[in-house]
Amino acid sequence: MNVAEIVRRYEREMVDTLKNLVRMNSVNPSSGGPGELKKALYLQKKLEEWNLPFERYDSPDPRAEGNVRPNIVVKVKGEDSSRTLWFVTHLDVVPEGDKNLWDIDPFEPVERDGKIYGRGAEDNCGSLVSTLYALKAVLDMGSYPPQNVGLVFVADEEAGSKHGIDFLIKQGIFGEQDEFVVPDGGTPEGDFIEIAEKSILWLKFEVLGKQTHASRPGMGLNAARVAMKLMTEIDETLHQKFNMENDLFLPPSSTFEPTKREPNVDNVNTVPGRDVSYLDCRVLPSIPLDTVLNTIEQIIKKYEEETGARVNLEIVQRVDAPAPTPKDSPLVSKLVRSLKKHRNIDPIIGGIGGGTCAAFFRREGWHAVVWSTIDETAHQANEYKRIDHMVDDAVIFAEMMLSP
């Protein structure tokens, strides 16, 4: 029996495992959730039942359940113990958003039409299950893989990875010859291998004016009006000034998206004295983030002088893009061979705007790829994971684990 046949024997068990993970609310504490402890404990129990060696690394966080952000590291020795092929997935999820947009309870999984619906099903529990059962299938074959194989289930990926992969790298767990597969992005066909990411800049704009009654606006300074005009000019200026393209990336240009807005006043007839907006920037590596920030600061200064409002700018997250993984690296070649063998796919190799754990590895000079098969429902209402994608991806991961 080959490894693909072994993987497929576990399909129903994989589905049950995914459902169990979805049931455990692990919304990141940065978004008001409990964190990852329940999922970590569930996975620990499964690893113990399978007699797989693992260690747990906890990053302290008083906001989280148990006051910790757990990270689990599984490592199985191979014939060449000097290098490890790692598969890195994350335990935390984003909030469900507007529950009225969901057809189901976001944390009570539903199986329908070959899909598992629920928050975190695609991002990232389905891929976690794929890596877990890929390793189980490899071990069922009764032989050592050609190199060490590791699984990492990390915390905090959805909010910057301070308590997750960044924390683990500082523990000295990974080696110079190690390689990393991060199944946290992809396409419905599984035909895209990500080797590069854009820089990330998340910004918070706090506009301070003067609150007053809406019938007497001249007695105050409307922070909402200033904020709307400010954000519109920043949006238009960034798109005009930084409009260059790079065909390696999808999309090929930088993106600057106004996203979150905090509540300002609770009643209609009050002019707000404080308004808070956020901007999500995904910037091509050729554009220095300091240049983007300087452009924004110049616009802010102009608005402060013209309106009398005060604008506080806060960098919520900054990730300067590292060098890409080489297209001809052994890791990329290994994944390409596996896709050709099991799916007859000649994948596209390129970059994305999304931020993943892969950027942290590339910053250290290690080779990392991002790949999985997904319908790209992450962060949406009615998020789902296709069962066939989950099982088929496990076959690809198992093939990679067995490849020299």
Catalytic positions are 92, 157
Rounded Cα–Cα distance for residues 195 and 352 (Å): 8
Half-sphere exposure of 112 (CA within 13 A, CB side): 10
Contact yes or no for 182/88 (Cβ under 8 A): yes
Which run of H or E residues covers position 195?
A: strand 192-197
Q: What is the largest CA-CA distance in the chain?
A: 80
Tokens of 184: 């946290």
Q: Are 18 and 393 in contact (CB under 8 A)?
A: no
Torsion of CA 82, 87, 88, 91, to 10 degrees: -130
Alpha helices by DSSP H, listed for 141-222, are 165-170
What's the distance, CA 174 to chain centroid?
20
The 10 Å Cβ neighbour count of residue 272 is 23
Strand order in the sheet with 274-283: 255-261, 274-283, 199-208, 310-319
Q: Compute the distance between CA of residue 158 and CA of residue 386 in angstroms, rounded to an integer.
A: 22
Rounded distance between C-alpha atoms, residue 83 and residue 92, angstroms: 28
User: Pairing mode, if any, of strands 179-182 and 80-90?
Assistant: parallel
CB 123 within 8 A of CB 184: yes
Other CB atoms within 10 Å distance of the CB of residue 372: 27
Q: Write the DSSP assignment of 128-197 as a string of letters.
A: HHHHHHHHHHHHHTTS--SEEEEEEEES-GGGTSTTTHHHHHHTT-S-TT-EEEE-S--BTTS-EEEEEE
CB 342 within 8 A of CB 353: no
Contact 275, 224 (CB under 8 A): yes
